Structure 1
Amino acid sequence: MEESPGKQEIKAYRLGESYAHLCDDGSVLPIAVGPEFWQSQIGALPPGRLISMFHSAQDWTVWEMHPQGDEWILQVSGSMTLILDMPGGETSVTLGQGEFTVVPKGIWHTADVIEPGEALFVTAGEGTSHRPRDRAR
């Protein structure tokens, strides 16, 4: 995944097809992603934060949780309501275009789509867990 300094190819990447991994050492790694990314590739990345973007046209079918750090979410277009399983009970926050929120480290969350659109995520991705949305807590 890593390339030597000065040998990294300079090109354009499409966020969504690739992620950008902001490494703690200050470097940035473009990462090509596929459906197996969260199961097999995330653990091989050096410490840092992952930048990704997803298009949501329907309510999420899973809950997710990031044990290594907070997740920053910016709604780029459309709108969604994030549902967070906080220690005191579920809470929600609705994001419209240009609005962001922070999901605290270790908090399970999912989302309902109000208007289809894209959101940008900055995540400490190592150890990310998913569970079906219909699963009892």
Structure 2
Amino acid sequence: MTPQAFPLGQYFAQLAGDDRCLPVEVDAAFWETGVSELPPGRLVSMFESASDWAVWECHPQGEEMIIQIEGELVLILEQDGVEVRVPLRAGEFAVVPKGIWHTADAPGPGRAIYITPGEGTQSRERL
């Protein structure tokens, strides 16, 4: 593959195995079908958060790393029936343990990079 730049957000990167990094174009069908077609590995993505998340999510295949690059995010982890809040400011990161349900509040606009074991990701509506 010829080296080139990919806009993060329009593309994600799949870190597959020990030796591959695959650019993955993201479209409307990605979360329904595209993510399941990826080889095993970790998905690197970037999202902007201007409001609280509408869902809880869980990654049963491994830990997720969240790197806050702009603004602030309050990560909420559901551990043993208790909500644990972890504020993240620009330049900080947190690790979500394998199999832990989590969501987030966004006190204001911000952006974060997510390194996620995408396979088997589950979500549920946040009430």
TM-score with structure 1 setting the length? 0.88
Q: Distance in 2 between matches of 1:41 and 1:125?
A: 11
| 2:24 alignment counterpart | 31
Q: 81-90 vs 109-118, which deviates more?
A: 81-90
| 1:102 alignment counterpart | 95
Q: Distance in 2 between matches of 1:129 and 1:9?
A: 35
List, as ranges, runs of 4+ consecutive aligned residues in structure 1 with deviation greater than 2 Å. none
Q: Gapped runs of 5+ residues in structure 2?
A: none
What is the total number of aligned residue pairs between the two structures? 127
| 2:33 alignment counterpart | 40
| Kept in 2: contact 1:79–1:97 (CA 8 A) | yes
How far 1:88 sits from its partner (Å)? 4.7
How far 1:35 sits from its partner (Å)? 2.7
Paired residue type of 2:102: H
SS, match of residue 38 in structure 1: helix
**Among 13, 27, 37, which residue is 2:6 paired with?**
13
Q: Distance in 1 between matches of 2:8 and 2:34?
A: 17
How far 1:36 sits from its partner (Å)? 2.1
Paired residue type of 1:81: V
| 1:53 alignment counterpart | 46
How far 1:25 sits from its partner (Å)? 3.5
Q: Distance in 2 between matches of 1:16 and 1:52?
A: 6
**Among 62, 65, 86, which residue is 2:55 paired with?**
62
| 2:113 alignment counterpart | 120
How far 1:33 sits from its partner (Å)? 0.6
Question: RMSD between aligned alpha carbons?
Answer: 1.1
| Kept in 2: contact 1:38–1:128 (CA 8 A) | no
Larger radius of gyration: 1
TM-score with structure 2 setting the length? 0.95
